[in-house]
Each structure stands twice: as C-alpha cells, then as structure tokens.
Amino acid sequence: MASRYRIGQDPDYVPLGRRLLLMNWTLVLLLCILSGIGFAMLYSAANGSLQPWAERQMMRFAAGLTLMILIALTDIRIWLRMSYAAYVISLILLVGVEIKGDIGMGAQRWINLGFFQLQPSELMKISLVLSLARYFHGLTIEETGRIPLLIPPLLMVLAPAALVLRQPDLGTALLLVAGGGVIFWLAGVRMWKFALVLGGALAAIPIGWQFLRDYQKNRVLTFLNPENDPLGAGYHITQSKIALGSGGLFGKGFMLGSQSHLNFLPEKQTDFIFTMLGEEFGLVGGIALLLLYTLVIVYGYVIALRCANQFGRLVAIGVTTTFFLYVFINIAMVMGLIPVVGVPLPLVSYGGTVMMTILVSFGLLMSISIHRDVRISRQGNDDGRH
Amino acid sequence: MLAEQFASRAGPDKIPTFLSTRHVFYISQPNTDIDPSMWHRDSDRYRMFTRRAIMLGAGQGVLLTGLAARMYYLQVMESNRYSTLADDNRISHRLLPPPRGIITDRFGAPLAINRQNYHILIVREQSPDVRKTLTVLSQIIEIDPETIDRVEGDVQRRRSFVPVTVRDNLTWDEVARVGVNAPDLPGIIIDAGRSRDYPEGPHLAHTLGYVAAVAEKELTGDPLLELPGFRIGKSGIEKTYDMSLRGRAGTSQVEVNALGRVIRELDREEGQSGETVVLTLDIELQRFANQRLAEHESAAAVVMDVYNGDVLAMTSHPTYDPNSFTNGISHKLWDSLINNEYSPLSNKAINGTYSPGSTFKTCVALAALEAGVITPEQRFFCPGHLDLGNARFHCWKRGGHGWVNMHDSMKHSCDVYYYELSQKLGIDKIAAMAKRLGLGDPTGVDLPSERSGLIPTKEWKETQLGKRWQGGETLICSIGQGYVLTTPLQLATMTARLASGKAVTPHLTRDHVAPDEIAARNDAEFPDLGVSRAHLAHIHDGMNGVTNELRGTAYRSRIKIKGLEMAGKTGTSQVRRISMHERQTGIIGNDDLPWKYRDHALFIAFAPVENPRYACAVVVEHGGSGSGVAAPIARDLLTKAQELKSSRPGVSAVNIQSASQILRTTTKKQES
C-alpha cells in the first residue's frame, strides 16, 4: 500500500522541502515561548538555580521539540493508518501496568524504559483521539446518527477511562472522557444523546462516589469548603489563593514571591506553577500567559477548519481540546474554581511525560496543518482515485 | 457499494477561501471520478463539523474568559485581603523578653541582678551525626549519658532547625573549652541567656522572694508570660513589684517560611528593661541580723526607722537560698524545705503571729494614761496574784512586787499592775490603743501575704466565737497573752510609733514604686499619732528603766556606749497552760521542756533613748525568756544600726537614670 504514495503517483504527496516550508513556525515559536516561561518559573522555584528543575526541563523540551518536528513532517495518512494499532498497544500497556500495579508495585502508572518513563495513560490520550477520529472519519453524517454504530467508539473511550480510574487517576480519566466526547460532538452525534449520557452520568455520581478513594473524596469535599480544614487538605488551595491574590496587579517581582519561596505554596514547580507566576508577575503576567495559551488554541482551531479531511479536522480539534482542558483544569484548580485534580499546566509545569504528550500531539497538529489538503477516503486506505 | 468505496475520495471539501489561498495549486488538480453524492455528504459533515467546532471554540472561549475574570477577582478585587493573609503567613512577631529590673539596698548594693547564663544547644540539621557530636562534647565538658539520650530524643521530635538545650549554667571555663573545640562540634551553639541571681543568697530570701516559671493559672493573656523560660516574681519584693520589675517587651518582626524557620529579621523594636527597685534595707545590717539570729532555731527580727518607716533590716530564721528556685528547685530540696519543723519558707517577720507578752504592757500603759484612769505615780500593790471571781491570776514573780507605780511596773514587768489597769480600762479601750499603735491590722508593708494578727474586742468575741467576753480575759490580754497575737513587724511598728509619736507604717522601698512611675517618698508623710507627748514620755521613761536602770528586766542587755543607749521592753509569752499542779510543785524550767513547749522570747526597743531613730522588735520562737534571749539580740542590732548609721540617706531610683549607674555607684562604694 505504501507504493501508492510513491513520488509522482500520489497527487497529495507533499515533498519534504515543501513540508518544512508549510510547517507552522509561528506555532513552534509560541510553544517555545510558553516553555521558556516554564524554564524561568522553574528557575525561580529553585530560588534562582537551574537545578534541579529548569535544566532537566530544557533538555526534555529539546528532545520533545525534535520529536514534534519529526511527527509533523510525517504524512498524516501514515498516522491515520497507525491509529488503531496505537490504540491497541496503548490499551495493552494500560492493562499491563494495571496488572503490574496489582501485583504489588502500588499505584505505579509508568513503564520504565531506562532513559524515559512511559506512562501508558499519556500514550492513550493521543491514541484515543487518533482512533476515534479514524472511526468517525469512516462514518457518514447519517451513520453517526445510528446508535449501534456509536457503541464501538463508546467502548473505545470507556475501556481506557475505567482502567485509568482504577489506578486511580481521576484527572487523566476525565481528560480521556472529555477528549473522546469532543470527537463525538464534532462528528455530529445528536445533542439529545449527549444529554442522555450526561444525565446518566449525573445519576451515577452517588454510585460512583462509593468507588472513589478517600483522598479523592476529600479533594471534592475540600473543594466545596476549603476553609473548613485550612491546615489539612484545604491548605493547598487556600495558600494558592493567598499567593495569587497577594500578587495583585503587577506581582511581587521575579523570584520575590513570598508564598512560593517560603514554601507556603505546595508543589510550586508542578501543579501550582501558575500560582507562582501569578504571585510574581501579578494579573498582568497571568493574563499574558492565558493569552499565549489562547493563541495556541486558536491556531489549533484554524488548522482544523482549514483541513480538507475529516480525520485531520477531528484530530486537530481533539488535541487542541485536550490542550485546552489541561490549561483550563489546572488554572481553574489553582484558583479554587474546581477540586484539586493532578493536572499540570502544559509546557510550563515541571515533568517530562506531559510535555512529551503535548509536543507529540502538537506534532500531529502540525502534520495536519502541512497535509491540510490531502484527501482521504472514508476507509482511510485509499485516496479514492484508483 | 464496492465502487462507491473505491470512489470515496474525500474530494476537495468546501474550504472557505480565506483559509486556503496558499494551496490553490493542489485543489485545482483535476478530479474526474468523484461521486457528486460524496461531495454533498462530506460537505454536510464539514458543515456540521464547522458549526460544532465554532460552538466548542466559543465554549472554550467563555471558559477562558471565566478564568481571566476569576484572576481579576483574586488579584485586583480581593488583593488587599490576600496581601494581608500572605503577610500573616510570612511575618511572625516575636517577643523579646526585657531584662528584669534589678533590686538594690538603700545604698545601691545589688541584691537581685541578672546573671549571664550560658547554655549549650545543638541543632540537628547542622550536625551530621548528633550522637557522635554529643560524645565528643562529653569529653570536653561534663555531660551524663542520660542527657545524651534525652537530647537525642528531643532532637528527633523537633524540627531539624530547632535548637535543643544540652546543658545549662556553663562555667566560663567550660564555655571557653567548647569554643576552642568548635570545629569538632558541628551543630553546637553556645547561647547566653539571663537568669536571676541573688548575690546575698539566703540573707534576703524572705524579703526579696524569688522568681520562677509562670504557672498555668498565672497566665493573664499577656503573651510575655507565655514565652518559654520567662520568670515572674513568686514571693516577696519580686512579687509585690513584679509589674515594675518586668519591664516592657520588645518585638522582633521576622520572616518565616512554612516550617517556621526564620529567614531574616524585618524589623526590631527594643523593649525596656524593668525598673530598678531600691530597697530601704541596709544589707550590712541585714547580714548582721541574719548571723545574730542564726544562733537560734527559729526567730525573726525587724529594725526600722521610727520617723519615716524605712525597714532597715527584716529577717526570718531559718532561711533558704532563693537562687535554687530560679532554675527549678529539686524535689529533694523542696521536700526538705516544706517538711522542716522551723518552716524556713515562711517569713516570720510578717507571717509569724505571736502573743506579744509583756511587750504589750507599753500599749496598755499608754491606753490607761490616755484614758485618764490613772496617773503615772499612782501605785498598786502586787502580792504576786490577783483574784477575780473565783479565779486567781498570777504575777510572773511568785512573791509579788509590792507597791509599784507605772515606771516600776514596766521596769520589773509586774503583771498585777496591768491586771489592775485593765480592769479600769476594759478590753475595748485597750484594743483601741493597740489598733492606734498598729496592731491587729496588716501594717501594709509592701510584701505579699502579710498576716494581721489579732486584737480582741468584746464584739469580736461575740461575732467570731459566739460567746460573751469574760472579765478574766481582759486581764490575760493586758499582759499580752490570750487572744492577742502580733507579728514581729507589727511590734516594730508599735515601737516606732511609741518612739516617734507619729503614725508611721513600715515599707521596704525607698520610693513609691508603681508600674509606670517611681516617685520619691515624702519624709513628712506620716501624721501625728495624736497621743499626748507627756504620756509618751512616761512610756519612754518606763522603757528606759527596763534597760538602763539596775534591776530592770533587761539591764544586763543595755547598750553601754554613751549616746547609743536603748529603751526597751521584754516579753516572754507562754505557749502552754501552766496547771495548778505545776504551780504548786514548781514550774518546769524552759530548758527541761521540749522545744515547741518553751516560751517565746520577745523584745522591743528603740534607740537612742534621747531623740530616738531606730526601732527594733525581736521574736525568738520558743527561745525562753525575753530578757535573756531576745534582749541581747535587739541590743546588738540597735548598736550595729547606730554604728552603721543605717538610716542615713541612701540612693533613690528617682534620681538615677539606669541600673548601670547604680552598679557603678556600688563599685565606687566598694572601692572606697
């Protein structure tokens, strides 16, 4: 089948030089700026030192960026054909860590590859979007209205979500369900079906509540009333709000945040890094970062709307929405708008796994952008001309 | 179907031109075999996608705007509140305990000071191996193995940067040795604190009192009291003037991190050390009095100025070392103090109540003169006893004194004379005079828990005991026995009032000391007693006879130095009832009785006889006779006081700026 895309035979083939030209370098720059802000904050979090966080984060970003460009330069049709395989592999790995975890490794969620710790749940975030996009790519608008045809993709979402929830990782499970739901939505699944599932989910909350671990229950209860237990579970949120609020309009200055530097703010290098930024650079800094994120999201939408194939469109909005959810859940959490869920601020928080996920998904987004005009049949195995 | 599948080329979706101007080349390629229905369907899909993507994008836009709004709310609208909270987190106010005020005697000699106290502390995070460091330390200074175990436990329990005390009260030599070996002792800190020190030790224990850690029930909400290691006055002058001695705490604003570790000091406001309290005591006289009383098991003595009420010496024996309380007293020592039969913890000068015995006769005689019931020359016959109803009241002298006037009645301490007077006076007139002379009520001296003693009246007996006053009781009271109880300080006050004719009250400070103000005392602040000078002269005459005339009861204890002579009155008060049987077979001598059944020996005196200045009262518990035991002590005290000129003007805290100035005066005095 690869022979179909030989040079000269595939009308949609984009030469490498052309791909480099078409690559959305502005988006790459935006991602670099965001990561740069992250390096600066990690430098501050370490009280003015590249160790232990900033330097490692830079190295990871360099590796991730290379990977992103490689993915971007790969033909989108290759990713399409690999979608189901990636999903199956991710699911197997997910079951694997689950079994391994049960055997006695505790809540271990990763596979150690020596140089890199692979989290199957992160891999799943991307491959779920890919495989759902591929599935819906193959359905006509009429077919998306047929309930039996909606059952396989629903299982595709629920199986990994259930596995991840068992780990237990509520944040990732929510991201998976939300990311999947968005693909359903864009594919044209009827509104009332969403309402039905949502209603069912709400009805299931009291039942699901019993399955939550104590710390998860506490997080929700703490969210509902953080001042109730200011030195216990509510401490993080209370301190985070104090840090943000005391930052004021212009902040306390780089490396001068008292809440962050005197350790009142927990996890300042990971989940609460936005709080630190808000404390040191104030509302101005926070809004600026938010605008950068918004710009990246807008790019995602533009790429999606300009894409000629349904697969690319769905994947583009899928990864953009996942990115949005990271940003929204993290910032809303540190500002006390939603319960504490362990979701980092993409590209800024310290941590290699999520950075890798984000950069890989942006690689896909750029591949979509480069191959925006490639036409793909609904079966995905042919361009429909032969 | 198959054809359709193969023909399912997605085709150029209808792409808005604004999005695809750069790639016209690709979509303009000829597409000959496109199923038009596919076109239609895929554009349906695209329209649906676009519509929903825009809705989704709008939703995300709303949520992002919501984040911005929340940010605005937190960082602009609520900013002030959160800034305050952040500062509350970050800034910790620490109290700096002020140095306690020093106490000096009337000439500035230090009586209570703050000594540098060196402790040795260890900080876990600065010591790689706590046990090893402590072992090395134990080779340099003395540390017992239990201490090492305790410190290791404490160190684990506290946060790693909190210093733990290893040992207190290092000598200077030990400090130097630890300092020299500092490189081998990582994490070891030497800290200089202050602890209260009483250079005179036991000489002033009762008067000065002592300081100790604040007890739970003494907490008043003043944060100073909650500081670890803070000491407050628990008794004596330390307690009475505690508020003045305490001073005002300073504050230090420090920046702390979430673990409470101090990062830096932001602001510091020094406190004010406690006021210097200058006492009226003359430490040399005080030391002398202590040595003099130490010859007896249990005794108390007071020397005071008859004009201004300055207490020059106040001593209670046995005594204790107040320094042992400063750093916590051991159980063993405490038990030995409270179980001691001679009650060393009690200040007998103000807490011991004794029948005044014959010393009370001065008061009865003055009452009789003032009431006009007798003249000094009027004589009564003493056959050795007086019968009232069917009871017989004995004179101390079995054979009686024969005819006695007032002068002789005092000189010989004739009991019958006073039985006669009391019958003419009645108990209430005696009591009224006793109260005027300062008995029966607390003197108001500036010490805590002073006892009031007791001067009985008819009304008192009816209300307190519910019984009618008996005539015989008046007789008993007239010789200072029965219900009458006085403290040594009250007796000294009475003597001072008799000597000066002024209503003096005793006090221990040179100045009026209040927490926020120190004001000099006015020498002329005491009103006249309102007693005829002529009558007082008769009392003085009688008391002069006691000491300075041959066959006076205290003639043997007179002051022989010319110009320093004293006038006094002996008192021997019984503490047991002498039965009829014992009177007939012969009264058992004191030496043959167990200590606690022996008589109390008392003596009151003032000196010089002409123009008196010093009053003195001595009580020797179960000491035997007043003339034989108490009078010699009073003689020595008054001689010493006059030789030292104890009442000469001393320093006053009003006129000095600081404690250091006082200490300078003291050194000068010692040098000269």
pLDDT, tens only, B135-144 = 888 888 888 8
Strands (E), A218-271: none
**3-state DSSP: chain B helix, strand, coil percent, rounded to 5?**
45, 20, 35
Q: For residue B208, is pLDDT > 80?
A: yes
Please indicate whether, in this complex, the C-beta atoms of B60 and A321 are within 8 angstroms of each other: yes
Q: Give the whole-angstrom CA distance, residue A64 versus residue B221.
A: 61
Between positions 82 and 111 of B, the ones with CB within 8 A of A are: 82-83, 85-87, 89-90
Which of A330-334's residues contact partners 24+ apart within 8 Å by CB, and which partners?
A330/A271, A330/A274, A331/A274, A331/A290, A331/B67, A332/B66, A332/B67, A332/B70, A333/A271, A334/A237, A334/A240, A334/A244, A334/A271, A334/A272, A334/A274, A334/A275, A334/A278
CB distance from B39 to chain A under 8 Å? no
Tell me the chain B residues in contact with residue A299 when contact means C-beta distances shorter than 8 Å.
none
Nearest chain A Cα to B19, which residue? A306
Which domains, from first to last, does chain B contain?
2-58 (no CATH), 93-278 (3.90.1310.10), 292-644 (3.40.710.10)
Nearest chain A Cα to B3, which residue? A384
Minimum-distance CB partner of A282 among B5, B52, B75: B75
Structure tokens at B324: 């042992």
Convert B306-336 into a string of H (helix), E (strand) and C (coil). Answer: CCCCEEEEEEEECCCCCHHHHCCCCHHHHHH
> What pLDDT score does B21 carry?
41
Which of B643-648's residues contact partners 24+ apart within 8 Å by CB, and which partners?
B643/B564, B644/B282, B644/B284, B644/B285, B646/B282, B646/B284, B646/B285, B646/B303, B646/B312, B646/B313, B646/B614, B647/B305, B647/B310, B647/B312, B647/B613, B647/B614
Test mutation, A262, A280, A329, chain B, max B CBs within 10 A: A262
Looking at A110-119, A297-306, B307-316, which range is the least confident one? A110-119
Is B8 one of the annotated active-site residues of the chain? no
pLDDT tens, B143-158? 888 888 888 888 887 7
Band of residue A380 on the pLDDT scale cut at 50, 70, 90: low
How close A113 gets to chain B, by Cα (Å)?
A: 36
Average pLDDT over residues B469-488: 93
Convert B202-266 into a string of H (helix), E (strand) and C (coil). Answer: HHHHHHHCCEEECCHHHCCCCHHHHCCCCEEECCHHHHHCHHHHHCECEEEEEEECCCCCEEEEE
The gap from C-alpha B222 to its chain's centroid, in whole angstroms, comes to 17
Side chain identity, residue B627: S
SS3 B512: strand
List B358, B625, B627, B646, catalytic entry? B358
Q: CB count, 10 Å around CB of B271?
A: 18
Q: Give the whole-angstrom CA distance, residue B108 versus residue A371.
A: 100
Band of residue B13 on the pLDDT scale cut at 50, 70, 90: very low
Test mutation, B44, B64, B74, B159, chain A, max A CBs within 10 A: B74
Nearest chain B Cα to A338, which residue? B67
* Nearest CA among B33, B30, B38 for reference residue B13: B38
* Nearest CA among B377, B397, B393 for reference residue B385: B393
Whole-number percent of chain A with pLDDT over 70: 88
Q: Give the whole-angstrom CA distance, residue B429 versus residue B422.
A: 9
Convert B419-474 into a string of H (helix), E (strand) and C (coil). Answer: HHHHHHHCHHHHHHHHHHCCCCCCCCCCCCCCCCCECCCHHHHHHHCCCCCCHHHH
Q: Give the whole-angstrom CA distance, residue A3 versus residue B342.
A: 117
> What pLDDT score does B431 carry?
95
* Nearest CA among B250, B242, B267, B253 for reference residue B101: B242
Q: Decide if A359 contacts A64 (C-beta within 8 A).
A: yes
Please indicate whether, in this complex, the C-beta atoms of B86 and A242 are within 8 angstroms of each other: yes
> What pLDDT score does A231 carry?
56
pLDDT tens, B440-456? 999 999 999 899 999 99
How close B3 gets to chain A, by Cα (Å)?
A: 10
Tell me the chain A residues in contact with residue B264 when contact means C-beta distances shorter than 8 Å.
none
Average pLDDT over residues B468-485: 92
Average pLDDT over residues A196-223: 78
Q: Give the whole-angstrom CA distance, residue A150 versus residue A146.
A: 7
Q: For residue B249, is pLDDT > 70?
A: yes
* Nearest CA among A172, A289, A27 for reference residue B67: A289
> What pLDDT score does B407 carry?
94
Size of interface A-B (CB pairs under 8 A): 195
The CA-based angle B378-B383-B384, given to 5 degrees, is: 115
Look up residue B507 and give its DSSP letter: B
Please indicate whether, in this complex, the C-beta atoms of B49 and A313 are within 8 angstroms of each other: yes
pLDDT tens, B621-658? 998 888 889 999 999 999 999 999 888 888 877 776 55
Average pLDDT over residues B605-615: 93
Whole-number percent of chain B with pLDDT over 70: 91
Average pLDDT over residues B162-178: 84
ipTM of the shown complex: 0.91
Positive or negative: CA dihedral B235, B240, B245, B249 = positive
> What pLDDT score does A227 carry?
60
SS3 B493: helix
Whole-number percent of chain A with pLDDT over 90: 50
Q: Give the whole-angstrom CA distance, residue B33 versus residue A2.
A: 22
Test mutation, A144, A185, A238, A258, chain B, max B CBs within 10 A: A258
Q: For residue A167, is pLDDT > 90?
A: no
Average pLDDT over residues B218-223: 80
Q: Which phi and psi (to 5°) does residue B304 adopt?
A: -140, 165
Average pLDDT over residues A192-206: 85
Band of residue B662 on the pLDDT scale cut at 50, 70, 90: low
Please indicate whether, in this complex, the C-beta atoms of B11 and A262 are within 8 angstroms of each other: no
> What pLDDT score does B660 carry?
57
> What pLDDT score does B142 carry?
85
How close B21 gets to chain A, by Cα (Å)?
A: 10
Average pLDDT over residues A167-188: 86
Tell me the chain B residues in contact with residue A378 when contact means C-beta distances shorter than 8 Å.
5, 8, 10
Please indicate whether, in this complex, the C-beta atoms of A293 and B48 are within 8 angstroms of each other: no
* Nearest CA among B185, B494, B515, B256 for reference residue B361: B494
Minimum-distance CB partner of A384 among B7, B41, B70: B7
Q: Give the whole-angstrom CA distance, residue A10 versus residue A2.
A: 10
Q: For residue B349, is pLDDT > 80?
A: yes
Tell me the chain B residues in contact with residue A308 when contact means C-beta distances shorter than 8 Å.
10, 12-13, 15, 27
Q: Give the whole-angstrom CA distance, residue B10 versus residue B148.
A: 84
> What pLDDT score does A2 carry?
44
Average pLDDT over residues A287-310: 95
Mean pLDDT highest for which of A353-362, B255-264, B517-526?
A353-362
Minimum-distance CB partner of B6 among A258, A373, A384: A384
> What pLDDT score does B25 carry?
40
Positive or negative: CA dihedral B655, B659, B661, B666 = positive
Average pLDDT over residues A77-96: 92
Minimum-distance CB partner of B263 among A185, A262, A293: A262
Looking up tokens 């480069």, which residue turns up?
A: A370
Between positions 247 and 276 of B, the ones with CB within 8 A of A are: 255-259, 263
Q: Give the whole-angstrom CA distance, residue B122 versus residue B407.
A: 75
B269 forms bridges with which residues in the sheet? Answer: B251
Band of residue B42 on the pLDDT scale cut at 50, 70, 90: low
The CA-based angle A331-A337-A339, given to 5 degrees, is: 90
Tell me the chain A residues in contact with residue B255 when contact means C-beta distances shorter than 8 Å.
258, 262
Q: For residue B19, is pLDDT > 50?
A: no
Convert B41-88 into a string of H (helix), E (strand) and C (coil). Answer: HHHHHHHHHHHHHHHHHHHHHHHHHHHHHHHHHHHHHCHHHHHHHHHH
Please indicate whether, in this complex, the C-beta atoms of B85 and A332 are within 8 angstroms of each other: no
